[in-house]
């Protein structure tokens, strides 16, 4: 029974993590272009495509670092360190995609 509940909770965590990444990208777009009224050099569809592309990367990295396993006996600081490392790697990957594929810097786009 406990293992079944743990599997269900892990699945919910995966879905929630993907939804959080997508929502964060939408909030970033809204803040940058609607609230701060920045110049829209990157289209909304590019933001959505990027969010859908980077969500599996987050899930993959969280899974490979053991963050979807039971954390009952793990140290909070060690877990927070793993989360920070995954977020840093994913942010670097996303920034690289934006730099290489942004319509204003790449003639072909991606």
Would you list the domain boundaries of the chain?
Answer: 2-101
User: What does the pLDDT look like over 54-104, one tens digit per residue?
Assistant: 888 889 998 998 888 877 777 889 989 999 999 898 889 888 877 877 665
**Closest to 101 in 3D by CA, of 47, 55, 39, 57:** 47
User: What does the pLDDT look like over 6-15, one tens digit per residue?
Assistant: 888 888 989 9
**Predicted pLDDT of residue 28:** 86
d(CA 94, CA 78) in angstroms, rounded, equals: 24
Quick one: what percent of the chain has pLDDT higher than 90?
14
**Predicted pLDDT of residue 84:** 93
User: From the centroid of its chain, how far is CA 30?
Assistant: 17
Angle between helix 2-29 and 44-64 (nearest 10): 150
pLDDT band at 32 (very low <50, low <70, confident <90, very high): confident
Q: What's the average model confidence in pLDDT over 37-51?
A: 79
- Does this model's pTM top 0.85? My answer is no
């Amino acid at each position: 029974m406990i293992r079944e509940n743990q599997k269900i909770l892990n699945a919910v965590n995966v879905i929630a993590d993907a939804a959080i990444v997508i929502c964060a990208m939408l909030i970033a777009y809204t803040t940058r272009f609607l609230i701060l009224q920045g110049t829209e050099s990157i289209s909304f569809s590019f933001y959505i495509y990027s969010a859908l592309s980077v969500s599996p990367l987050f899930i993959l990295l969280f899974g490979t670092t053991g963050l979807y396993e039971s954390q009952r006996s793990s140290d909070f600081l060690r877990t927070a360190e793993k989360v920070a490392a995954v977020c840093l790697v994913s942010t670097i990957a996303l920034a690289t995609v934006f730099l290489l594929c942004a319509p204003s810097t790449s003639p072909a786009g991606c």
